[in-house]
A and B are shown apart, each in its own frame.
Chain A
């Protein structure tokens, strides 16, 4: 740990990297993406079991109506993003690379598309148990990227308690600014969502971690949180991956989540600011998860924007709305440039967990991998203190036993190691292979 890191211990985690921020879209207010003709809603767009369809082809659906139900506890519901007709239930391209079943909703061009206020929306009288069930039925998932069903985090497991709720407003990935705009434009909703979360899990304090490059958002949240005094907006150093759950808890509470454990073991619940705003919307109007804010940026995008996009809009349609791609476009990424996945085609729908569409004209650097010179830069970057250099060798050898004892599964694939490696070794890719080897061995036993 450097001297500077020691002195600023109060505002960040240890290790990590400082990639160029490229937050050029931070000044662009959130616009609404116009409706399109057809929406593609994959049944699997969250962590856990795919949703189970409730509709048949030809059935008329209202905007916000549930069209697929949760299939199990770690699963969630899916809703029609527009009023229209179910045109098909069939296999369609998916950003994961494997085509998967989706409900296709064709818009009714004559419908008003007004979202009616749901009489069944949660209120102050709603019990915690009812709220969990209601959030699952509303299809809320973590909006940070992993799309983990939110209702699961609303339930404090038996024998545990939650003293703190932390909202993640770091948005540490370069280019992405949708959380920044959301915190700035909808600070009240974020605070309301946080209060609901705190009441739900019985927390005494709420924190919102915001990186110092979003001072206006931090100020707006501080102003919105003025009453009560139980909510602190914490300004954090601009560093990647500040928004990783474990890093955020370390930065704010100075405690390490034990390896293999969850934040709740430290009496903490962490949610994204977007999730909190969605929860506030659910409480206000009963609005389920039918749209999300995402950032469209990168030098191949003619008109970068922060957009409120109905789920199921195709990436191609979003890009067309933003002026289309430049002909020299070489790469399109869903998510941020550190962890987002490059896509081979654009006929894939926007899902609940997609925070950005980035397009670039510069080609993927054709760099030759050089031998590891054991410089230790990957160790100095790894936020969970692994030895990526050694893990990479073990992963290449598929030595699952040794990998497991070297804490392979603690890697969260933040790609800081790949970022710093002077030998261009695809370290995070090898980490994924290593994790897969450990998982495969565990499954085989």
Chain B
């Protein structure tokens, strides 16, 4: 026997792991948001940076306050999920949103969207969209007022810096989003402005090209499961295509895919693992549901846009989808439940 025996550590198998952690997944997503935020800043100027900074400060601050005493020695800010929710909330706000509303939305996103459910991993609804839905319900006018892009970097809509619950002294020139134009005025925006992003809309949704590239990057790096966005986009394209052929009820698939928040939602919200099904079949059902509801709301709903409600509605049925699509255990003929 050797004179000195090393001190040996014991731990349950396996010794090896894939090395992929939740923190890295979150950071991968955050990194791809840099070009999206940059595009928002390019088109909507300082207002974009100001609003995204506001929502992110609010979500991270709220998360910090609520997880301070979680007993793990530190807060849960390091997992990046609060920052992610904040940036996503900012990206789906109109450029003229008052900063105080953005801050309030961020607080609500974390408290009602995540904390009350038990924190990361337990929330039923996408936190960013909970914040967005709250703002839209509380301040419908501000959340459906759109300003035109490219008015100069430092040009802020007066409403952005308005004090809480006060009307801005003068209103900026407002315009309609491509979806609004299509729905209420019957005009279709040129495809190239939808691809590159020179249209009115929420901060992060206007450039289809940037979102597609970020989505491809995340999908190829297996950060998210490709089934979710692919099912969403395919269904929206197919359904809108059918409606277009069937008497021109809806604009065609290309317009449907590249307008409004569909790509932003498909790449960054439909792919949130926590609030979407974890079975492969469930992922297909979820994506098909979102794509179908988006076109349904856009075509026959009172609103021009439906991505937020489509995703939130499908979030609500995710536990049911999981339950109904449990995998069939190897060597069993029927489905195990």
A is bound by B: yes
Interface, chain A (partner B; CB < 8 A) = 17, 19-20, 174, 246, 250, 256-261, 314, 316-317, 320, 324-325, 327-333, 337-347, 358, 360, 363-365, 367-368, 370-376, 379-380, 382-387, 389-390, 405-407, 410, 415, 418-424, 426, 428-429, 432
Q: Is the CB of B331 within 8 A of A410?
A: yes
Interface, chain B (partner A; CB < 8 A) = 1-2, 4-18, 20-25, 72, 79, 119-122, 225, 273-274, 276-280, 283, 326-332, 336-337
Q: Is the CB of B15 within 8 A of A331?
A: yes
The secondary-structure label for the interface of chain A is loop
A337-B16, A420-B18 known; A259+B6 contact, CB < 8 A: no
| Option from B6, B20, B72, B336 in Cβ contact (under 8 Å) with A420 | B20
Query: How many whole Å from A200's CB to the nearest CB in chain B?
Result: 26
Query: How many whole Å from A64's CB to the nearest CB in chain B?
Result: 27
Best-buried of B273, B328, B331 by chain A (most CB within 10 Å): B331
A331-B9, A342-B11, A363-B9 known; A410+B329 contact, CB < 8 A: yes
| Option from B5, B22, B23, B121 in Cβ contact (under 8 Å) with A345 | B5
Q: Is the CB of A373 within 8 A of B332?
A: no
Instruction: Tell me the nearest residue of chain B to A324, going by C-beta.
Output: B2
For B9, the chain A residues whose CB sits under 8 A away are 330-331, 342, 363-364
What separation, in Å, do the CA atoms of A346 and B3 have in the docked complex? 12
What separation, in Å, do the CA atoms of A320 and B12 have in the docked complex? 26
Query: How many whole Å from B128's CB to the nearest CB in chain A?
Result: 15
For A316, the chain B residues whose CB sits under 8 A away are 1-2, 5
For A257, the chain B residues whose CB sits under 8 A away are 330-331
What separation, in Å, do the CA atoms of A442 and B119 have in the docked complex? 36
Instruction: Tell me the nearest residue of chain A to B10, going by C-beta.
Output: A342
Q: Is the CB of B331 within 8 A of A261?
A: yes
Query: How many whole Å from B112's CB to the nearest CB in chain A?
Result: 18
Query: How many whole Å from B269's CB to the nearest CB in chain A?
Result: 15
A341-B13, A343-B10, A419-B17 known; A384+B278 contact, CB < 8 A: no
Instruction: Tell me the nearest residue of chain B to A429, going by C-beta.
Output: B12
For B10, the chain A residues whose CB sits under 8 A away are 331, 342-344
Q: Is the CB of B15 within 8 A of A364?
A: yes
What separation, in Å, do the CA atoms of A343 and B15 have in the docked complex? 12
Instruction: Tell me the nearest residue of chain B to A13, going by C-beta.
Output: B330
Query: How many whole Å from A148's CB to the nearest CB in chain B?
Result: 19
Q: Which 3 A-B pairs have the closest CB atoms?
A: A376-B278, A371-B121, A384-B330
Q: Is the CB of A373 within 8 A of B22?
A: yes
Q: Is the CB of A384 within 8 A of B331?
A: yes
Q: Is the CB of A373 within 8 A of B13?
A: no
Besides A325-B6, A374-B274, 4 more A-B contacts (Cβ < 8 Å) are A261-B331, A331-B10, A332-B8, A370-B21
For B22, the chain A residues whose CB sits under 8 A away are 370, 373, 422-423
A330-B6, A385-B328 known; A360+B16 contact, CB < 8 A: no
